[in-house]
Every structure is written in C-alpha cells, then in structure tokens.
C-alpha cells in the first residue's frame, strides 16, 4: 500500500455477529478484521499488548505476590519485544500489509470508542487503552507462538535470581507456572465415510471462555487471493482453523514438548557456573528495569539481575527453585519461529490436499497443534507438525530412563514438561539442514498418515489416531507411544469409528455425536457400581451415614449422558472425580483389567473388586460423592441443567457437557488445562466445596459454573457445490457483556442449535440479521445498514 493511501473494507455482519470482511488489497482485509475484532474484544487485546510490552506493573502495580512485576521481567528476559522487528522483517510483503492494516483497523475502532460508553466499564478511561503500533502486534505474535511454552514460563523466568550471600531465593509460587496444554477433539473423515463421498471435518476445540485464548469467528475475502472462513485468536489476522472451497482443517493441542528444561550441575560455591561435559561454563547476567505503579500513584523503578545459560534463560521453578547445587534453564522451539503467519495463511489459500500438505513441508511454521484435514476429493490427513526439539538416539534412551528413575523428571513430564541433562553435551538438540530452525525435527521426521475413512485426535499423542494406524518410532518429545489413552480419546475413536463404518456421515450426524454427551466411563462401569452400591446399603463416610441405595436408584434411572435434563450426571461426575487420571488408565482401585497396548481402545475395563487392606474404594468414592453434593447444596437427583451453568454477564445460562474424567466428547467444566493470562475481570469466585477437586470436577457451592470447554464447534463438508458447514461459537462473538453477542452463542450451544456457516454471497445476503458497513481509514466509516451493529 502506498504511503497515505486509505484502507477500505466492506464488512457484513450476520447472525450471532459473524463478520464477513472483503477488501481489494491485503491491507484492506487486515483493516476490516482489526476493526471488527477490536469492536468485540479491544480491551482483551489491549491488555495483552501491555503484557508483552512488559508494562503491566507500570499500570497495575507489582501484582499479587509480585506477579505483574515477574511477568514484565520474564517477557524482557525472553526478548519478545526485541524479536518483533526480526519477525516483521522476515515476512513477505502481503503479510506485512495485512498486519499493518489490522493495526490501523484496531486504532480506527478505538478512535470511535474513546470518550463514549462503547468500551466496558473495567477499562474505560484507562491509560493502557491507547492506540497501538504495528510493532506491538508483531510483539504479540511472538507471544502467541509461545502459547505452549515460554508464555507459561514468563513469571518463573522473571523470578530467576541467582543464590546470594543469604542463600537461594524462595521458589516461585505454584501460581507462577502457567498451564499451556489446551484440549480439543478433531475429526477428519474421508470419502469412504461420508454420504456424498467428499471430505468432512469436525472441529471441537476446548479453550477458556474468558481471556486472550478465545476465538473470534470471521470470513475473509480478497478476490482472486483468499476466501476463507473460520476462527482466529483475538488480535491475530487471518484464520487459524476453518475452511476454504477446497480444504477444511481442525486443530488439537499436541501432546508433545515445545520446549525443554535442562537441569544444570552447578559448581560448588559458584551458583552461576555449571559443568558442561569436561568444562565449566559461566552464565551471563543481564539487568532488567521495570517501572512499577505504587499505591500512592507514583512510579518507581525496580531492577533485577537475571541470568542465562547457553541453553537459554534460567528459571525459578515452584517448590524446587534455584539451589546451590542444581539449577534449571530452558530452551524454546518457537521463540525464533518466524513462519507461523505464513503457515496459516498458506493453509487458507490451499486449493487441494497436495497444496495444503506442501505448506507444511515447505514452511514448517506450525507452532503447537496437531492438524486434521480433509478435501473435496475425500482425502483425510493427520499430522503433528508442531515445532519439536530433535534429540539424538542416545539422548532419547536417557530420556526414557529418566522417566523411570528420576522423580523430578516424572513429575515434570506429567505436567507436559520434558527434562534434559543440561550438563551433558549429549542431550543437546540436534541440527538438521531440512528443519525450519537449528535444533528442530525436520518435516520428514514428523508423525503423519493419510486415509479415506477417518483420523481423530483428542490430545493424546500421535501413536493412535485411528484404531488401525499405529505411528511408532517417533521422538518421545512428540509424545509417548504404546501408552494408555484417555477416556476421551477412547470415546473419540469409538464414536468416529461407528460414524465412519456406517458410510453415510453428514454434518448433522457428526455434530449430534459430539453433543450427545454420552459418558464412556458410565458405559464401562456404571452397572457394576450400581450393583456394588445396592449391596452396600448405608455406609459411613467421614462420620456421616450415607444411603447408597438411593444413589444406586438414581444412577439406574440416569440416561448416562451430561445433558440438561440428565438426573444422576452430577452424582456420577463426583464419583469418577474420586480417581486420578492415572487410575483411569490402568488396573487399580477403579478398573479390574489392565491397559493392554494390543487393545488400546477397549482397555482398561471392568470394575475393580474391593481391596483386602484398603476396603471397598468404589463404595467409599460414591459415598463421598453423595456427601460432597450435599455440602454444595446440590440435590443428588437434580437435573444437570439446574446446577451447571455459564455466567454471561447478567445471564445465567444452563449448559450441558462434562469434564475430562467422565469420558464425554463435549467438555464444559469449571476448570481447564490452558490458563488465561488476561486481567479481564470475571464473576466473583464461588466457594469451593473440596479444594482437591478444584482442578477436576470443580464442584463449588451451588454446583458447577463452567469456564472452559467447547468453544468453536464446526462441521463442514467439501462438496462439488462448495463447502457446506454448520456450527456455533459457544461463548459468543463479543467479550462485552452488554452485547447480545456475549450470550447468544451460549444460548445456541445450550439448545444444541447450530447455524449455517455462510460462505457464498447469496447465503450472506439472505441472512435475516444482515448488517453492512463500508469502512474507510481516511474518515469516519460510512454505513449502509439494515440496522446498526
């Protein structure tokens, strides 16, 4: 775009506030997308810009337990701002134009909203809500690339002070280590599975319902160059998940490792020196200074000395810290990923499966997700193309041994953190000339397969995404092989297998299967639990008499779903929440028959018998479930919709869905594995009934207020007449709780009422809620509307 040349974009909003944006140039498309997304989510994007600029403490103070200060310091140490110019300059001209337009569109909406009530109360008039520079967006895109890595380590990096004369600094609080493992279901069906013989894709990402990790639904058109529908992360241009006329794709969070921690053997008396093979290496120090807002409104400067090994920044881990003998450092596979935007834009422009696959091979920019895709000819494809460290065979052998013998390594890996020996040169990442960056696996070493029936993924590793496809011999940093699958993965494989075997799959049948809310754990165990409870009668649980006969009657009448009308769903939920994830995957207190890698879809199974020493753990778990529900004020015969809800502003919307332990496809729960790092306010916290269940069932006084789970739900078939899709955005298109689009998506989700995903001009123009607007950057936008947005 020539200097000073105005941007022009046509926006058509359809039902539920979906924005269809058309421009004649890349900058015009970015301008329209930036404007429309900011209209729905400007405060959340602005908050993220302040975060990556290391200015949270400047505007909000040091934060609880110094969290804002640590975050600011950590982002400085990660160098996200310093890397932004390199990321920008690495892009082709059309992507730079797209982002420049996005920044201009954001600022155009802000100019309209300032000095009005268009912004929500929580940010109106705040000094951090201000125009952004193009470089601010590039800084944020570095951070998006770190969603499964450095983003979640920023605070522990910012707290990594070396031990001094008074000894080591206190370990970071547990809250400082963010969770970076979202969940999702993704299905790609080939022509052998569908009624039409074309490909069909189902996307069911499970993400937070608040904060920066939400999706925003849009349709972007640049005639002759781009015509893509789907969702984008807030503040990000383009579409990250969706479809065009030829290919559709879904993503699920990869089980693999996007970074590694390295344990350093420190030199006695010198905690900033470490052994490396036969030599001693010195860490390098760098001082970072942050402005901090004090309670009296003044600004003070805080300087902290942080450290780096040759691997990368030092970290101060919760519970472990940085000691006198051992320290920890980290290396990130996505910190230098300059190809993310080219990756997603190339996928959006692909005109065939071959072209789609070529993007992965040539660009290698996928940061942290699996991809499941299908095309119009009926080809279905799975790949985990996430950026993954490349270890030698010897290092892989040591890694497996470490998981068996090193308690710290085991605990970290359970949290999806891979630990290497940073003092052993043999554990260094290996270089391959075919990889996107030094130290990463090249494309030809990535797990993938293509079929004409189906492929699925539900966040377990690459090993089993079709019952007959065992991908073996890949790096454990892609995830482990021949290990037990989650109940949700097993339910995905069983359900998709049944749908594919019928050979008559449609969009409607696929969505109905996702939203059926059928519980695999109940299918496997409920009848036996009922029999055990009936035989037990009245038992004592923590000094309270509990009548399990009544509980058994409720479970016997339960439909074994997590629907709004399901009576017994909460009782079963609290029962299975009494067992941890490992007990769900092996013989033990819950299952009688152990996991068998030869039968991974059907094992473990069968209810365990009482233990001679521990007693009847099953009966005890059910009795505790009855007791916890009573403490929460939840009748054990309450329909799920009476006690599970989503709070959307002033609206309490009863919602269906379950949590991970139940083995349902449709996750909707009070807790999720991907943390929001947004300062966006939410409703006041509920009073927990059992703190140990905060991160499982999430039961609290009154029941279950959901905050995480099904977000964008899409089924799309690639037909000869163009893509035909249905779906919804479960938390709505707008983050402003005064907007009707903050709640209408949730009401549609609750009713299981999908809508057409409008792709053609005729379909868009026929929408009964159509609103049109032409935006021009040189003046206030002019409107041509059937109503005002």
pLDDT in tens, 66-118: 999 999 999 999 999 999 999 999 999 999 999 999 999 999 999 999 989 99
Q: Answer yes or no: is pLDDT of 147 > 70.
A: yes
Residue 736 predicted with pLDDT over 80: yes
Q: Is 184 tagged catalytic?
A: yes
- Residue 10's Cβ-side half-sphere holds a number of Cα atoms within 13 Å equal to 13
Q: Using alpha carbons, select from 478, 444, 442, 445 the residue that is nearest to residue 463.
A: 478
Q: Is 694 helix (H, G, I), strand (E, B) or coil?
A: coil
**121: pLDDT strictly greater than 70:** yes
pLDDT of 782 > 60? The answer is no
pLDDT for position 748: 98
CA distances from 785 to 28, 31, 775, 781 (A): 20, 19, 12, 12
Tokens of 623: 């009795």
Query: Which member of 71, 184, 254, 734 is catalytic?
Result: 184
The yes-or-no verdict on residue 784 having pLDDT over 50 is no
List pLDDT tens digits, range 322-360: 999 999 999 999 999 999 999 999 999 999 999 999 999
Q: Report the pLDDT averaged over residues 470-481.
A: 97
What pLDDT is stored for residue 180 in this prediction?
59
Residue 181's pLDDT band, with cuts at 50, 70 and 90, is low
Q: What is the pLDDT of residue 673?
A: 74
317: left (phi over 0), alpha (psi -120 to 50) or beta: beta
* H/E segment holding residue 518: none
pLDDT at 781: 40
Give the pLDDT confidence of 741-766 residue by residue, as tens digits: 999 999 999 999 999 999 999 999 99
Which of 17-31, 141-155, 684-698 is predicted with the least confidence, judged by mean pLDDT?
684-698
- 763 has which bridge partners? none
Q: pLDDT for 266-308, tens place per residue?
A: 999 999 999 999 999 999 999 999 999 999 999 999 999 999 9
This prediction has a pTM of 0.96
Q: 652 vs 115, which has greater pLDDT?
A: 652
Q: Quick: pLDDT tens for 416-449.
A: 899 999 999 999 999 999 999 999 999 999 999 9
Report pLDDT for 178: 80
DSSP 551-591: HHHHHHH--SB--TT-BSHHHHHHHHTTS-TTTTSSBTTTE
Residue 220 gets the label, from left (phi > 0), alpha (psi -120 to 50) or beta, of: beta
How many alpha carbons fall within 13 Å on the CB side of residue 335?
Answer: 24
pLDDT in tens, 698-735: 999 999 999 999 999 999 999 999 999 999 999 999 99
Describe the strand order of the beta sheet including 448-451 as a list of residue ranges: 448-451, 380-384, 369-375, 247-253, 241-243, 226-233, 215-222, 18-22, 8-14, 771-776, 782-783
Residue 363 has pLDDT above 50, yes or no: yes
Mean pLDDT of the chain: 96
pLDDT grade for 4, boundaries at 50, 70 and 90: low
Q: What whole-number distance in Å separates Cα of residue 434 and Cα of residue 637? A: 60
Is pLDDT above 90 for 779?
Answer: no
Query: What is the per-residue pLDDT for 568?
Result: 98
CB 329 within 8 A of CB 261: yes
- The percent of residues above 70 in pLDDT, for the chain, comes to 97
Do residues 7 and 197 lie in contact, with contact meaning Cβ atoms separated by under 8 Å? no
Residue 453: partners with Cβ closer than 8 Å, 6 or more residues away: 189, 190, 192, 193, 380, 466, 500
Under the banding of pLDDT at 50, 70 and 90, the label for residue 676 is confident
Q: What is the tens place of the pLDDT at every residue in 578-596?
A: 999 999 999 999 999 999 9
């Amino acid at each position: 775009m020539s200097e000073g040349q105005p941007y022009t974009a046509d926006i058509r909003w359809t039902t539920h506030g979906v924005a269809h944006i058309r421009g004649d140039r890349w900058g015009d498309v970015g301008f329209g997308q930036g404007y429309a997304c900011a209209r729905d989510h400007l405060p959340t994007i602005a908050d993220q810009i302040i975060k990556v600029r290391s200015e949270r403490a400047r505007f909000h103070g040091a934060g609880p337990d110094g969290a804002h200060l640590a975050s600011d310091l950590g982002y400085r140490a990660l160098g996200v701002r310093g890397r932004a110019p390199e990321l920008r300059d690495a892009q082709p001209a059309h992507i730079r134009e797209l982002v420049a337009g996005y920044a201009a569109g954001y600022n155009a909406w802000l100019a309209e909203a300032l000095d009005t009530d268009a912004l929500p109360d929580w940010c109106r008039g705040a000094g951090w809500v201000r125009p952004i520079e193009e470089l601010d967006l590039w800084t944020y895109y570095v951070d998006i690339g770190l969603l499964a890595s450095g983003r979640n380590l920023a605070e522990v990096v910012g707290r990594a002070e070396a031990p001094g004369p008074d000894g080591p600094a206190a370990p970071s609080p547990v809250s400082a280590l963010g969770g970076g493992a979202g969940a999702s279901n993704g299905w790609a069906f080939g022509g052998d599975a569908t009624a039409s013989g074309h490909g069909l894709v189902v996307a069911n990402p499970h993400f937070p319902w608040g904060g920066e990790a939400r999706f925003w639904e849009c349709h972007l058109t640049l005639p002759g160059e781009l015509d893509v529908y789907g969702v984008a992360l807030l503040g990000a241009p383009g579409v990250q998940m969706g479809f065009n006329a030829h290919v559709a794709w879904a993503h699920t969070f990869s089980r693999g490792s996007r970074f590694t921690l390295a344990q350093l053997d420190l030199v006695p008396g010198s905690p900033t020196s470490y052994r490396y093979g036969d030599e001693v290496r010195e860490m390098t120090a760098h001082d970072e200074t942050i402005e901090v807002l004090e309670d009296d409104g003044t600004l003070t400067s805080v300087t902290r000395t942080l450290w780096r090994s040759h691997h990368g920044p030092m970290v101060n881990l919760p519970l472990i810290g940085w000691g006198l003998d051992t320290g920890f450092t980290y290396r990130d596979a996505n910190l230098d990923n300059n190809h993310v935007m080219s990756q997603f834009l190339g996928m959006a422009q692909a005109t065939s499966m071959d072209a789609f696959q070529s993007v992965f091979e040539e660009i290698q920019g996928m940061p942290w997700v699996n991809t499941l895709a299908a095309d119009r000819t009926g080809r279905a494809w799975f790949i985990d193309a996430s950026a993954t460290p490349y270890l030698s065979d010897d290092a892989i052998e040591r890694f497996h041994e470490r998981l068996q013998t090193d308690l710290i390594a085991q605990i970290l890996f359970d949290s999806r953190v891979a630990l290497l020996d940073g003092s052993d040169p043999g554990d260094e990442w290996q270089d391959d000339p075919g990889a996107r960056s030094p130290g990463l696996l090249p494309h030809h070493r990535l797990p993938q397969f293509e079929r004409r029936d189906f492929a699925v993924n539900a966040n377990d590793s690459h090993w089993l995404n079709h019952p007959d496809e065992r991908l073996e011999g890949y790096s454990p940093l892609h995830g482990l092989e021949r290990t037990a699958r989650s109940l949700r993965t097993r339910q995905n494989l069983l359900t998709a297998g049944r749908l594919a075997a019928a050979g008559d799959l449609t969009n409607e049948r696929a969505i109905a299967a996702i939203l059926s809310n059928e519980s695999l754990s109940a299918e496997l165990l409920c009848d036996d639990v009922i029999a055990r409870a009936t035989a037990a009668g009245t038992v004592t649980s923590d000094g309270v008499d509990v009548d399990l006969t009544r509980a058994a009657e409720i479970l016997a009448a339960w439909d074994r779903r997590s629907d709004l009308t399901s009576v017994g769903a909460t009782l079963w939920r609290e029962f299975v929440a009494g067992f941890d994830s490992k007990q769900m995957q092996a013989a033990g207190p819950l299952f009688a028959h152990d996991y068998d890698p030869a039968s991974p879809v059907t094992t473990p199974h069968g209810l365990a018998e009482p233990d001679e020493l521990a007693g009847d753990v099953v009966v005890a778990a059910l009795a505790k479930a009855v007791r916890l529900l009573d403490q929460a004020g939840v009748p054990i015969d309450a329909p799920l919709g009476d006690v599970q809800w989503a709070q959307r502003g002033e609206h309490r919307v009863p919602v269906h869905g379950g949590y991970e332990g139940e083995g349902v496809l449709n996750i909707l729960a009070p807790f999720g594995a991907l943390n929001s790092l947004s300062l966006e306010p939410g409703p006041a916290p509920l009073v927990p009934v059992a703190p140990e269940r905060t991160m499982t069932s999430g039961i609290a006084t009154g029941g279950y207020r959901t905050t995480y789970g099904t977000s964008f739900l899409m089924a799309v078939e690639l037909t000869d007449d163009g893509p035909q899709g249905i779906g919804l955005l479960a938390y709505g298109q707008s983050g402003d709780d005064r907007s009707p689009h903050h709640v209408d998506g949730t009401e549609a989700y609750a009713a299981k009422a999908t809508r057409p995903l409008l792709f053609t001009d005729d379909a868009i123009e026929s929408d009964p809620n159509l609103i049109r607007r032409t935006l021009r950057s040189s003046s206030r936008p002019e409107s041509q509307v059937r109503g005002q947005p």
